[in-house]
Amino acid sequence: MSEETWYKMLAVSLALHIVVLGAFSIPVKWGSSRKIDLSSAYSVNLVGSAGNLGGGSGGPKVAVQSKPEPKPDKPAPAIKEKKTPPPKKPQPMQKEDDAVSISKKKAPPKNKATREEVDRLEERIKNIRKKTDYIDVAKAGSGGSGRGTGAGMGLPGSGGGSGAPLDPAMQKYLLDIYEKIKNAWNVPGMAQKKDLETIITIKLRKDGRIVDMNVEKRSGNRVYDESVLRVLRAVEPLPPIPSSLNTDSLEIGFRFLPGGLS
Amino acid sequence: MVLSAGPMAKAVMVILLFFSIVAWTIILMKYRQYSRTEAEGDRFFRAVKDADSFKKLISVYRDSQDNAFYRLVLAAYKEVTSRQKDNPGRIHKDDMPGIENMLRVAISDESAKLERRLSFLATVANTAPFIGLFGTVWGIMDSFREIGVRGTTSLAVVAPGISEALIATALGLATAIPAVLAYNYFLGRLKRILSRMENATIYLINILDK
What tens digit of pLDDT does each residue of A11-53 get? 999 999 999 888 877 765 454 444 455 445 555 566 654 444 4
Q: Does B39 touch chain A (CB under 8 A)?
A: no
Out of A99-113, B43-57, B134-148, the most confident range is B134-148
Using a CB-CB cut-off of 8 Å, the residues of chain B touching A3 are none
A249, containing H or E segment: strand A249-257
Task: Check if B177 contacts A (Cβ < 8 Å).
Answer: no
pLDDT of residue B137: 92
Over residues B138-179, the pLDDT tens digits come to: 988 888 887 787 776 777 777 777 888 888 999 999 999 999
Residue A237 lies in a domain: yes
Q: Which tens digits make up the pLDDT trace of A55-72?
A: 344 334 444 444 444 444
- In the DSSP assignment, the letter for residue A13 is H
Residue type, B90: R
Chain B residues touching A12 at Cβ < 8 A: 24-25, 28
What does the pLDDT read at residue A238? 79
Phi-psi sector, A142: left (phi>0), alpha (psi -120 to 50), beta = alpha
How many folded domains does chain A comprise? 1
Compute the nearest-CA separation of B161 from chain A (Å).
12
Q: How confident is the model at residue B134 (pLDDT cuts 50, 70, 90)?
A: very high
Does residue A210 fall inside a structural domain?
A: yes
Judge whether A165 lies within some domain: yes
Contacts of B168 by beta carbon, 8 Å cutoff, 6+ apart: B9, B12, B13, B16, B131, B132, B133, B134, B135, B136, B138, B139
Q: Which residues in chain A are closer than 8 Å to B32, comparing Cβ atoms?
A: 1, 5, 9
pLDDT at B39 over 50: yes
Residues 216-245 of A with CB under 8 A from B: 216, 218, 226, 229-230, 233
In a domain, A10, yes or no: no
A123 closest CA partner among A171, A159, A174: A159
pLDDT of residue A68: 44
Asked if the model's pLDDT at residue B192 lies above 80, the reply is yes
- C-alpha–C-alpha distance, residues B137 and A246, integer Å: 46
Alpha-carbon torsion (A177, A182, A186, A191), positive or negative: positive
Rounded to an integer, the average pLDDT of B119-126 is 93
Whole-angstrom distance, CA of residue B78 vs CA of residue A73 = 95
- Quote the CA–CA distance of A210 and B150 in Å, as a whole number: 14
CA distance A84 to A39: 23
Q: What amino acid is encoded at B95 in this protein?
A: D
Question: What's the DSSP call for residue A84?
Answer: -
Q: Cis omega before residue A237 (within 30°)?
A: yes
Residue A50 belongs to domain spanning: 43-217+232-261
Question: Does the structure show a pLDDT above 70 at A214?
Answer: yes
